[in-house]
Amino acid sequence: MNNASIGPIISLDEVIRPTQLLIDLRIIKENFLKIKEYVKPSKVMPILKANAYGHGLIKIAQLLQDLNADYLGVAVLEEGILLRQHGIKIPILVLGGIWGNQIPIFLKYNLTMTASSIEKLKQIDEVAEQLKVKAIVHLKIDTGMERIGVHYYNAKDFLNAAVKTKNVIIEGIYSHFANSEKKDLSYTELQLNRFLEVINYAQKVFKEQPLFHISNSGAILQMPKANLDMVRPGIMLYGVYPSKEVQKSIEVKPALTWKSIVVYFKVIKPNHPVGYGSTWQTDHNIRAVTVPVGYGDGYMRNMSHKAEVIIRGKRYPVIGTISMDQIVVNIENDSAYNGDEVILIGSDGNCEITVEELADWAGTIPYEILTNINTRVPRIYIE
């Protein structure tokens, strides 16, 4: 079959799906500058893992580079490579653990590695020697997460080994808080004290002092003494607080609006169930609309029978089980028309639906809501 038989080829760039994310870069800029001012003189490493918490890895990195961010943090090697391939020049720390065969790729793309054991540190040193380069490394100390990193009580041997490397620049030493977003900060205090003991020893053995960092969004908001040399804001950069109970000592605004449109209108009669499993039905005539979004987009199925959307400045319930690609909304006796805007996250006048609400409906946390919005949902940027 030739192209002529099926008509002209249409570029995907010409097609904008009606279900989309609007991301206001002006708000992210404002949030970043507020954080930077609040924590100075500490450096700032914005965290861009998981597609910049759903906001778009490349575009957010470009914005932050223009704003002279000191560092960027990502979770995996591939995220760092993608940033380098799109012209990001500022330092990038890959926070996750590494495999030995990844080390040459880190060095090729000038990415900063996390060394989480003496064995990994030795591997990095050996590969750097073979390639006749210097590897930039941050040492990971486990002060209470039990994921990766050398336990704080074994840190002296780790730091002594680091000092002896010939081809590694120990640029930083860091840890991570487990509960810094909670009202009770006793465990966070314990972790900080453990890390300060490690810092005290490091300052004795390193001629050139590394950057010490441990503070995430919760700690930035609640424990300024943990800012140290650098902080790592994640979810708060995008205008979402890490928990309901955290102190809102910096006012940040959400940068993301998730919206779609009405694509179908119908009247549903009594005893005619809606959706898979026939889990919802009405006992009177209602008006309902269909919206092209579902769990395939990250609009989670667990929100079935709980979620609401905004149409024409008013909230309406989602009825029936959320499908992969569509939801049905009960507008009762109100009116809506094909093409009407539907707000999934965001506001219309005085009516607002937040990321936190979706998290409550889904029985999860805001982080998961943001990072689960599928890449098939177009990101539209407001600059």
pLDDT for position 11: 58
pLDDT for position 16: 80
pLDDT for position 5: 44
CATH architecture assignment, domain 25-238: Alpha-Beta Barrel (3.20)
Q: In the chain, pLDDT over 90 holds for what percent of residues? A: 95
Tally of CA atoms within 13 A in the half-sphere of 363 that contains its CB: 6
pLDDT for position 243: 96
pLDDT for position 4: 43
pLDDT for position 100: 81
pLDDT for position 10: 54
Does the pLDDT of residue 1 top 90, yes or no? no
Mean of pLDDT over the chain? 95
pTM given for the model = 0.94
Does the pLDDT of residue 300 top 80, yes or no? yes
d(CA 203, CA 369) in angstroms, rounded, equals: 41
CATH 3.20.20.10 domain range(s) in the chain: 25-238
Does the pLDDT of residue 275 top 80, yes or no? yes
Does the pLDDT of residue 239 top 90, yes or no? yes
Catalytic site residues?
49, 276
Does the pLDDT of residue 3 top 90, yes or no? no
Does the pLDDT of residue 15 top 70, yes or no? no
pLDDT, tens only, 37-94: 999 999 999 999 999 999 999 999 999 999 999 999 999 999 999 999 999 999 999 9
CATH architecture assignment, domain 256-382: Beta Barrel (2.40)
pLDDT for position 12: 55
pLDDT for position 107: 98
pLDDT for position 8: 58
CATH 2.40.37.10 domain range(s) in the chain: 256-382
